[in-house]
Amino acid sequence: MTDEERDWDRPDDPAAVREALIEWYEDDHREFPWRRTDDPYAILVSEVMSQQTQLDRVVEAWEAFLERWPTTAALAATDRADVVGFWTDHSLGYNNRAKYLHEAAQQVESEYDGEFPTTPAELQELMGVGPYTANAVASFAFNNGDAVVDTNVKRVLYRAFDVPDDDTVFETAANDLMPADRSRVWNNAIMELGGVACGQTPRCDEAGCPWREWCRAYETGDFTAPDVPTQPSFEGSRRQFRGRVIGTLREYDDLDLDTLGHRIRVDYAPDGEYGREWLEGLLEDLAADGLVELETGPNGETTARLKR
Ligand code: SF4
């Protein structure tokens, strides 16, 4: 085992972790038109545009670009100034990206006979295509990529599996988690998780994060991340306490309400503001989410345990 492999909290059951994320993604995700195509050219255009511009705004520009230059051949044959003009008109950020895209289209035409290369290594030979974009195109067009590691993915891995802030370890962990031959759905899913659930301010419960039962941050309430150096503020601290309940129940077979309450907050008082009623509400939510089981004993006392 190398240092990189030892350095993070690899899940005991990676198959369950993978399945949960793919199911969550397939059940519901944001619809972007480039997610409905496997045309490498259209995907490359979307990736280059998305580097600097909010995804919602990219949609219109992407559609207009492809209407004007529907193929690499069409783009390669046009004047570079027209491509740069389009970039400026649509406020797409650095003009260099337009130049590189034009150059890449010419490379595909002249060096690859108009057929896109299919591996991340070859794709990186195209002008302006770095490791991230190469993997994204290889995955989304050809289902042939390595794991994509961007800021969103780093944040998720850091929080969920304690992956240290080190690019080599992030890459090892991301590839280790990715199921074989499923880079298209996997990379889409983990980026979606980082985009809609595990943002700088996480929305673990609201977004129904499928990794709550394994996530270290959810358990400990520490949601810092490489791009979130201080604890993000929430509307309330309910989420942290949910994490503490899960973390505490993991240590015991089951616990009665008051014992659990005292373990998760110092100001717990059975009849106080943060007492049994408050804790029952928290536990009922966790039970509704399938994370906890509640049992009522012969004298009406409630015990809680993790759902296994
Ligand atoms: S449980 Fe929360 S912190 Fe953990 S991976 Fe999911 S969204 Fe991120």
pLDDT, tens digit (0-9, with 9 covering 90-100), for 24-34: 999 988 888 89
Question: Is residue 204 in contact with ligand 1, taking CB distance under 6 Å?
Answer: yes
Determine contact, residues 14/175, Cβ cutoff 8 Å: no
Catalytic residue among 5, 23, 31, 47: 47
d(CA 179, CA 140): 15
Domain ranges of the chain: 3-29+147-220, 39-142, 238-306
User: For 39-142, CATH number?
Assistant: 1.10.340.30
Pocket test for ligand 1, best of 155, 156, 196 (most atoms within 8 A of CB): 156
Give the per-residue pLDDT at 235: 47
Question: Cα(172) to centroid of ligand 1, in Å?
Answer: 20
271 alpha carbon to ligand 1 midpoint, in Å? 32
Between 1 and 221, whose confidence is greater?
Answer: 221
Contact by Cβ (8 Å): 38, 140: yes
Distance from the CA of 194 to the center of ligand 1, in angstroms? 9
Catalytic: 47?
yes
**Paired strand residues for 304:** 255, 294
Hey, what's the torsion of the CAs at 281, 283, 284, 289, to 10 degrees? Answer: 130
Name the pLDDT band for 55 (thresholds 50, 70, 90): confident
Amino acid identity at 136: A
Q: How do residues 88-128 score in pLDDT, each as one tens digit?
A: 999 898 899 999 999 999 999 999 999 999 999 999 999 99
154 Cβ below 6 A of ligand 1: no
Q: ∠ at Cα 159 (153, 160), nearest 5°? A: 85
Rounded CA-CA distance 154/191 in Å is 10
Task: Determine the pLDDT at residue 51.
Answer: 83
- What is the chain's length? 308
Identify the residue with better confidence: 177 or 232.
177
> How far is it, in rounded angstroms, from Cα 219 to Cα 211?
11
**Is any ligand 1 atom within 6 A of the Cβ of residue 212?**
yes
Pocket test for ligand 1, best of 198, 205, 234 (most atoms within 8 A of CB): 198
Through-space distance between the first and last CA atoms of the chain, rounded to whole angstroms: 30
CB 17 within 8 A of CB 214: yes
CATH 1.10.10.10, applies to 238-306: yes
pLDDT in tens, 232-272: 766 446 777 888 898 889 888 889 999 999 888 777 888 88
Cβ–Cβ < 8 Å for 186, 178: yes
Q: Whole-model pTM? A: 0.74
**Class of residue 276 by CB neighbours under 10 A (exposed 0-12, middle 13-18, buried 19+):** middle
Q: Does residue 218 line the site of ligand 1, with CB under 6 A?
A: yes
DSSP code of residue 232:
P
CB 241 within 8 A of CB 280: no
Report whether pLDDT(301) > 90.
no
Find which of 3-12, 88-97, 181-190 is predicted with most confidence, using mean pLDDT.
181-190
Distance CA 190, CA 279 (A): 32
Ligand 1 midpoint to CA 197 (Å): 7
The class of domain 3-29+147-220 in CATH terms is mainly alpha
DSSP line for 91-138: T-S-HHHHHHHHHHHHHHHHHSTTPPP-SHHHHTTSTT--HHHHHHHH
